[in-house]
Copies of this chain bind each other. A is one copy, B any other.
Amino acid sequence: MFTKTCGRYDVNIVDEDHSARTGRLRRGVPQQMTKPQLGRGAGRPSRRERVREATLAEIKGIARDLLVEHGAAGVSLRAIAREMGMTAPGLYRYVSGIDSLLVLITADMFQELGDAVAAADASVPPEDTDLRILTSLRAFRTWATEHRAEFATMFGPRARLAPETDITPAVEAGRRFGATFYTLFDRLLSEERFVLPDGERITPELARELRAFADTCGFSAPHIPVEAIMVLSTCWVRLYGVVCMEVFEHLNFVMRDMEPLFESELQNMLTGLGVHYRPPEGSTPAAMSTPG
């Protein structure tokens, strides 16, 4: 296309696909060769693998730090390398590029978010389904507001990633995270807390999509009716909506504190699900003073 002469001296005829037309193309797994043949099956993972794992963890850790401190734009291989006392090209022995690194830490963050929600869920009596749901959903929001940058890369548009990037690790992690809620919803379902919506209002297309949704998410215990899946989807959409709106700060020029709106949405939503709403413990004590 462009007959460019990149060499500083003269010719470099065989430059055609020098990996840079847009500057970032043709990224696969470049090095990180065959496979460590000292894995020894189930034996403990051979010193080399261990230190390798450790540096990979360090890379992801620093990437994470940069993300929270300087935002998504601040995560760069060179900055990470600098922080680690090595050079950027060295990182390519561990990661196949910045995009795949972002996918990796996204997966980690999904794991972490899932753990946070699960921990919150486990912190209340297991038989109190209502409280478990309340606590879990609030934990989701809390984690999101306390980890805005992370949430944005997890749930926002994948703006920074090249379109052809393989995002399956993140997707997998997201799926596992979703399961945290499916279990609770399933419990709610088996307790028959709410009446399912009119199934005749569900068009065949919607039913097909909902089935696909349930199947792919491992939420397809065969007894689950499409109506239930629709309720779940609706709830998820609403939760996603409030939290995104808060974290992306699309109302914060007009609404200082988004918690009341969140709580209100929660109340609306849960009431429809036959779950008894309770205001949160510490905050908004004024809510208590409102006479019924």
Contact = CB atoms under 8 A, between A and B. Distances in A.
A247 interface: yes
Interface string A254-279: 11111111011101100000000001
A160 B253 contact: no
Nearest to A159: B72
A74 B25 CA distance: 13
A290 interface: yes
A224 interface: no
Contacts of A238: 237-238, 241
Contacts of A163: 71
Contact of A254 (B152, B216, B256, B268): B216
B71 A254 contact: no
A158 B203 CA distance: 37
Contact of A244 (B74, B241, B279, B286): B241
Given A250-B155, A254-B217, A265-B237, A260 B212 contact: no
Contacts of A202: 264
Contact of A292 (B200, B230, B240, B258): B200
A150 to B, nearest CB: 11
Nearest to A255: B209
Interface string A235-248: 00111111011011
11 contacts: A156-B159, A206-B261, A209-B260, A213-B254, A213-B255, A233-B261, A238-B241, A240-B241, A240-B245, A241-B244, A244-B244
